[in-house]
Structure 1
């Protein structure tokens, strides 16, 4: 059993490199098998097809993100900073998400939708309790937080590609992201 689990992990590691570089349509099972040091048929035995392999890979990493980055509606700037740190340290995963969004016509995996929905509800509750400003609806605010936090990752066409110097000082950039989120979430609605 340990051998099978080790083989699956090697396949998933090779698949991460292949899918993040080429997307689902452009990825080749032959290249994944070669990089994983296994027979191509083994991939089909473990994962059925390329799409299931991609979905398994994405779910594995997204579950880790949900567990590792605690959502704190009372500290949206801090949350945005943690998401920024994660996104900047994982360009492969950010590219994987970009490919998923491009190729899956926005079909959201149930776990991802549930995690997002829970965050929006926590944010709505914090707004109702007056702990977070209500200038923006919770869905919009959550989208804005995530967009700002990931604006300079490898997957975003506007951040670093248009401003190559922007990522030279990640501490300052992180601070700017956090401050912008703070303005969006402030109590008095001055961010309007």
Structure 2
């Protein structure tokens, strides 16, 4: 009898869960589908992850690393453009983030980024027209406004420039 490779099984489960959660969110995802895509039994999914919430958390922890974009409060237009690029190249990351915001509101804190924006505002690098929290939300909203656009490259450069320009106009002192 062949021996099971636990890491390979975990990898298949995480990959299948990523696809499922990006498409259906937490509430719509089905453990049976995840198991079928991963090529294992539904019971094995529960053995490895306990339940759907725990599996979503495992996928989310992995996606946070994959979606990482270097934050720079002194260059918010560049940060927004990099976020736009990431979402353009990987729209499934944007969908997963949207599901997280919809189904788990208030769980994500960005206190380090907010504090960095406050410091940039104090140094006169970022406008004080909006609070640091508002600036961050607006920057992220601008960066993701085309996240559902096709990733075929059409208008990508123009959209990227528009993102940078809009954020620059938002934060210029």
TM-score for both structures, normalised by structure 1: 0.82
Aligned-partner SS, 2:5: helix
Q: CA deviation at 1:103?
A: 2.2
Q: CA deviation at 1:135?
A: 2.1
Return the alpha-carbon distance in structure 1 between the equivalents of residues 99 and 48 of structure 2.
23
Counterpart position of 1:8: 10
Match of 1:133 among 124, 127, 132: 127
Counterpart position of 2:87: 87
Aligned-partner SS, 1:126: helix
> 5+ residue gaps in structure 2?
none
Q: CA deviation at 1:94?
A: 1.3
The C-alpha deviation readout for 1:136-184, integer Å capped at 9, x for no partner, is: 2111111110000011113xxxxx4xxx8xx731100000010000001
Counterpart position of 1:173: 159
Alignment RMSD = 1.7
Return the alpha-carbon distance in structure 1 between the equivalents of residues 77 and 144 of structure 2.
13
Q: CA deviation at 1:102?
A: 2.2
1:29 aligns with 2:31: yes
Q: How does 1:81-160 map to 2 (within 5 A)?
A: 81-104=81-104, 106-108=105-107, 112-113=108-109, 116-154=110-148, 160=149
Return the alpha-carbon distance in structure 1 between the equivalents of residues 41 and 115 of structure 2.
46
1:78 aligns with 2:64: no
Return the alpha-carbon distance in structure 1 between the equivalents of residues 103 and 125 of structure 2.
38
Aligned-partner SS, 1:134: coil
Q: CA deviation at 1:54?
A: 0.9
Q: CA deviation at 1:57?
A: 0.7
Counterpart position of 1:157: none
